[in-house]
Structure 1
Amino acid sequence: MLVGVAILAGLIGIVVQVLPGAVLVLGGILVWAIFTGGVEAWVVFSIAAVAIAVAEVAQWILAGKHMRKAKVPVLTLAVGGIAGIIGFFVVPVIGLFLFFVGAIFLLEWARRRDVSLAWGATKAAVQATLITIGVQLAGALIATGAWVIGLFFT
């Protein structure tokens, strides 16, 4: 039951981007594999680990490609991410999104000196964030599916 709660919290954490979702999902499955034991449990954990590892690598590749195409530097995203974290505490929950978008827009406006280019870069950054969320969620859902199937075989 607690493993299921950890996995659910991880899936929610991926979507909300507040908790380390993939880590919670994989950690929950690891705890389950340790306590369940047996070949089947470790096969399930291995499948989950591979799915999450592939998703983690794929998110960086796909989002990075998207950002390079939009000519948005990594530093802009990093500062936007830090601003989003600060914003989460200043204005609970919605501050994450507001500060992230605002910081990227302001940085790109200062860098490009053009509002339309800055807004285009901001949209690209939000799209890249959505790409990472989607890819992480896909990997975590595959891991969760493997765990659910593993429950029937152990």
Structure 2
Amino acid sequence: MLAAVLVVVGIVGIALPILPGLVLVVAGVGVWAVGRADFVAWTVLGIVVAIVLVGSVVKYLVPGRRLRDSGVPGRTIAAGAVLGVVGFFVIPVVGLFIGFVLGIYLAELARLGGHEAAWPSTRRALAAVGWSIVIEMATGLLAAAVWVGALLLT
């Protein structure tokens, strides 16, 4: 029961970034694996950990690459990251995303000198944040599906 609660709370934590969603999904599967303590459980846990590791890497690579490919400079992305971290602590739940987008906008506003020029970069940053959430959710759902599949098959 605890394993299922952790997995569900982890999935919810991805949609509402209050909690470390993927970590909770892995923790839930880990609780199940420790309780079961057999080959199937350890194999499923290994697969889930691999899925989460790959998904976590992709979650940062794809949006960052899309931003760089669209012409947003690295220092602008860094400004977004810094304000994202600040926002995380200032505004619970959504501060990371608001801070990141605000950082992109302010850096591009300073670099390009006007709203009309800075707004396209900000829109691309919003799209990157969206892709990040989609990738993380897909990762969490795939990991949970592997676990549920193991539950149903055993």
- Unpaired segments of 5 or more residues in structure 2? none
- Unpaired segments of 5 or more residues in structure 1? none
Show CA shifts across 1:48-95 (max 9, x none): 122212212222231122111222234433433443444355444454
Q: Which structure is higher in RCO with an 8 Å CA cutoff and minimum separation 6?
A: 1
AA in 1 matched with 2:116: S
Distance 1:145 1:56 in 2: 17
Q: How does 1:125-144 map to 2 (within 5 A)?
A: 125-144=125-144
> 2:80 matched to 1:80?
yes
Aligned residue-pair number: 154
Distance 2:55 2:80 in 1: 22
Change beyond 3 A, Cα 1:75–1:14: farther
AA in 2 matched with 1:138: A
Tell me the percent identity.
38
**8 A contact 1:10–1:24 mirrored in 2:** yes
Q: CA deviation at 1:17?
A: 2.7
Partner of 1:5: 5
TM-score for the superposition, normalised by structure 1: 0.85
Change beyond 3 A, Cα 1:7–1:90: same
Partner of 2:103: 103
Worse-superposed segment, 48-57 or 141-150:
48-57
TM-score for the superposition, normalised by structure 2: 0.85
**8 A contact 1:84–1:100 mirrored in 2:** yes
Change beyond 3 A, Cα 1:22–1:74: farther
SS in 2 for 1:72: coil
Q: CA RMSD of the aligned region, Å?
A: 2.1
AA in 2 matched with 1:35: G
